[in-house]
Amino acid sequence: MNGDLFTLLAPELIVIGGAVLALLLGLGASPGARSAPRALALLSVFAAFLVTWYYGPSPAKPLELAGMRFDSLAYYIRLIALSVGALVLLVHWHLPHPAERGDVFAMILFSLAGIMLTSLANDLVLLFLTIELVSIPTYILVSIGRSDIRAQEAGLKYFFLGTLSAALLVYGFSFLYGAAGTTNLSRMQLSPAGGFVTIGLLLAFAGVAFKIAAAPFHVYAADVYQGAAAPVTGLLGFFPKVAGFVALIKLLFLMQPSDLLTAGWNMPGAAFVFLWVVAAATMTLGNVLGLMQTNVKRMLAYSSIAHSGYMLVALLAGPVASGGPLRDGLSAMLFYIVVYGIMNLGAFAVLALIQARGRPAEELDDLAGLGRREPLAALALAICVFSLMGLPPTAGFFAKVYVFSAAISNGAAGWHGLSLIVLAVIGLINSAIAAGYYLRIVATCYLREPVAEPIAEPRTAGIRLGLLGCCIAILVIGVWPGGLLYMSRLPFYDLSAPPAVATHSNAQSPEPAETTEQVYAKEMNS
């Protein structure tokens, strides 16, 4: 991988090219042309995945070029976005009306490209633009092809609040620019003591909180999830969240001393308190409100809010050099977000499957007796919901192990470390609360008698394939978490190396492993 921008950006270009072609083909008159977009979309995602895989993680010294930074974080985010993206495409396979197929698949691809570019962005302006590139297609996806008044309301609400959050984000960025005098993230090196920095960060966090549906910016989530079609909702639980969390990581790294990742984040006290309160409130509100729902989609919307809270816990614990993966909140968060994306998508895929078979899948009652009616769909839903609950042997369990282990073992001196343990305990109590409504979903499927039969059996192979992919991923990661764990650790090593700009020449940056070792040795000696 060398410095040619077009070569480096090949995965993104493939995805965007696929999107543009899908848009054009969707306009075609013949049925053949109209069904082409989805195959094309899937193909371009596969191609982009292969290219990214071929490039591999970045070398010890990440390349910086044109406001972008080609590091292992980008590598990891690209890979997971493309793999989950493929599942998202499969789940959308039968949903849109043939006339809208081009639009829908193009929007998914644009949003996907947005995530990949967000992970590359190394400039405030580009970061803002790429986050919007993720968001704007989702506004369209929520309301496209839905004549339902609720879908229209959802789309409108989502759009207006999204715009507001974008405004907050850009306002915050302007403060950060004011404090640093540059928009290049590698050169910013902010000091957490500055008032400008604190205001800028808080505003930017507020903007991001909307993307990840964190309290108090979560209010739209339930309405939007309820209004949107089930597959789109599955997408909403992943795409904007990834973009939001990547942005948060990038912002938090602005204040890290270049060579040091030993003791978590170096952020202003106010920002820590803000994120702590947001995390605790997000988990608690999400789960308590989730308990009160009778609509499955709203329930899962609140669960999505709560899971953002868990991810914030891990993010707040931050990267800690010594102690390995179980102490590293950053990789725990990166691990969690994939697992969450897959299990959430799987749950919505089941709802989409039921709808495709001609039954409603809105209220809890609609799921009654699913275990008898459609045993395999019910089994898939049970796997996804047990994973959301965090029961072994699913991926959700290990995601929980990593997240809460990072918070508990942070061990920062004074109130910092203790407050993280308290946060972890709040999170675990929340998992117990959440079990209340997750269990209702499973119980409705298996313990109640069926009320209705599927009335239509249209082609649902795509959804079923996507669902199968989700379930296999959940179980495989649940039994063998090592692979994903290793992948999610890559960004940590990369980010803990000095940025390329700072050490301009190709001088050896210390081996990451060595850094860890040294820090560890230091700790043991002290």
Partner 1 sequence: MLFLQEWILTLLIVLPLVGAVAVAIAGAGGRPLVPRSGENHDEPRGPRLGQMALAFSLATGVLTILAVALFFTATSETGQNLARAGGFALVQDLTWVADSETARRQIDFRYHLGVDGLSIWLVALTAFITPLSIWASFSGIRHRQREYYALMLLLEASVIGVFCARDLLLFYIFFEFTLIPLFFIIGIWGGPQKWAAAGKFFLYTFAGSMLTFAGVLYLAWQAARQGGVFTFDIDTLYRLQLTEREQFWLFLAFTAGFAIKVPLFPFHTWLPLAHTEAPTAGSVLLAGLLLKLGTYGFLRFNLPMLPAATQELAPLVAVLAIIGIIYGALVAWVQDDFKRLVAYSSVSHLGFCMLGMFALNQAGLTGSVLYMINHGLSTGALFLVIGMIYERYHTRQFDKLGGLARRMPWMAFFLVFFVLSSIALPGLNGFISEFLVLLGTFTSRNPLDGWPAGPLGAPYGVIAAVGIILSAVYMLAMVQRLLFGQLKEPEHTPDTSGGLRPDLTRREITILTPIALACLILGVYPKPVIDSIQPAAQQQVLAWVYAGDTDAAFAGAIAPRDAGAPARSAGPGAKEGGEDKDRLSRSTVGFSQSGFATCFSRWGEDQSPGFFPFSDFSRIPDSAVPEVTHR
- Residue 70, H or E segment: strand 68-70
Close Cβ partners of 177 (under 8 Å, ≥ 6 residues apart): 124, 183
Q: Which is nearer to partner 1, 195 or 360 (CB)?
A: 360
For partner 1, which stretch binds (CB under 8 A), given 8-16, 29-37, 207-215, 439-447? 439-447
CB of 510 to partner 1, least distance (A): 13
Round to whole Å and give the CA distance between 315 and 433: 22
273 touches partner 1 (CB under 8 A)? no
Rounded-to-integer distance, Cα 252 and Cα 265, Å: 7
Half-sphere exposure of 31 (CA within 13 A, CB side): 0
Token pair 């976005």 is at which residue?
Answer: 81
The three-point CA angle 412-418-424 to 5° equals 105
Out of 175, 489, 497, 509, the residue judged to bind partner 1 by CB under 8 A: 489
Instruction: Please pick, from the candidates 20, 50, 99, 443, the single residue that binds partner 1 as defined by CB under 8 A.
Output: 443
Our CB check for partner 1 shows the closer of 50 and 447 to be: 447
**Of the candidate residues 27, 66, 193, 439, the single one contacting partner 1 (CB under 8 A):** 439
335 vs 339: CA distance, rounded Å: 7
Residue selected from 386, 423, 491, 519 as contacting partner 1 according to rule CB under 8 A: 386
Nearer to partner 1, 94 or 327 (CB): 327
| H-run or E-run covering 63 | strand 63-65
The DSSP symbol for 64 reads E
Binding residue (CB under 8 A) for partner 1 from 28, 145, 392, 498: 392
Render the burial of 311-349: b for 16+ CB within 10 Å, e for the rest.
bbbbbbbbbbbbbebbbbbbbbbbbbbbbbbbbbbbbbb
Please check whether residue 118 is in contact with residue 130, taking contact to mean a CB–CB distance below 8 angstroms. Answer: yes
- In whole angstroms, give the CA distance from residue 118 to residue 103: 22
Considering only residues 97, 372, 459, 522, which one is a binding residue for partner 1 as defined by CB under 8 A? Answer: 372
- Between 40 and 384, whose beta carbon lies closer to partner 1? 384
Q: Does 374 bind partner 1 (CB under 8 A)?
A: yes
Asked if residue 15 lies in contact with residue 112, where contact means CB atoms within 8 angstroms, the answer is: yes
# residues near partner 1 by CB under 8 A? 54
Q: CB under 8 A: which stretch of 99-107, 130-138, 166-174, 393-401 binds partner 1?
A: 393-401
DSSP character string of 353-404 = HHHHTT---SBGGGGTTHHHH-HHHHHHHHHHHHHHHT-TTSHHHHHHHHHH
Cβ of residue 245: shortest distance to partner 1, in angstroms?
22
Could you say whether residue 481 binds partner 1 (CB under 8 A)? yes
The interface mask with partner 1, positions 451-470, x = CB under 8 A, is --xx----------------
Build a one-symbol-per-residue string for 407-426: x at contacts with partner 1 by CB under 8 A, - elsewhere. Answer: -xx-x---------x--xx-
- Shortest gap between Cβ of 409 and partner 1 (angstroms)? 3
Burial 27-46 (b: 16+ CB within 10 A, else e): eeeeeeebebbbebbbebbe
Task: Say which residues have a Cβ less than 8 Å from residue 464's Cβ, sequence separation at least 6.
Answer: 353
Which residues 6+ apart lie within 8 Å of 178 measured at CB?
196, 200
Contact residue for partner 1 among 44, 431, 496, 509 (CB under 8 A):
431
Closest CA to 275 of 407, 117, 124: 407
Shortest distance in whole angstroms from residue 51 CB to partner 1: 25
CB 323, min distance to partner 1, A = 5
Tokens of 279: 């995390």
148 touches partner 1 (CB under 8 A): no
Considering the complex, state which of residue 53 and residue 486 has its C-beta at the smaller distance from partner 1: 486
Q: Which residue has the tokens 């960060």?
A: 201
Are 491 and 330 spatial neighbours (Cβ–Cβ below 8 Å)? yes
The span of 58-66, 70-78, 346-354, 368-376 binding partner 1 (CB under 8 A) equals 368-376
Minimum distance, C-beta of residue 189 to partner 1, in the bound complex (Å): 28
Cα 302 to Cα 73: distance, rounded to the nearest angstrom? 28
Binding of partner 1 by 524 (CB under 8 A): yes
Phi, psi of 76 (to 5 degrees): -65, -45
Q: Does 292 bind partner 1 (CB under 8 A)?
A: no
- Given the rule CB under 8 A, which of 129-137, 190-198, 276-284, 400-408 is the region that contacts partner 1? 400-408
Contact with partner 1 (CB under 8 A) among 28, 59, 145, 450 = 450
- With binding defined as CB under 8 A, does residue 76 bind partner 1? no
517 touching partner 1, by CB under 8 A: yes
Query: According to CB under 8 A, which one of 178, 195, 257, 375 is a site residue for partner 1?
Result: 375
Specify the residue for token string 């308290």.
Answer: 422
Under rule CB under 8 A, which residues in 307-366 are in contact with partner 1?
A: 323-327
**Is there binding between residue 480 and partner 1 (CB under 8 A)?**
yes
Q: Which residues in this chain contact partner 1 in the complex, by CB under 8 A?
A: 323-327, 371-376, 386, 389, 391-393, 397, 400-401, 404-405, 408-409, 411, 421, 424-425, 428-429, 431-432, 435-436, 439-440, 442-443, 446-447, 450, 453-454, 480-482, 485-486, 489, 493, 513, 516-517, 520, 524
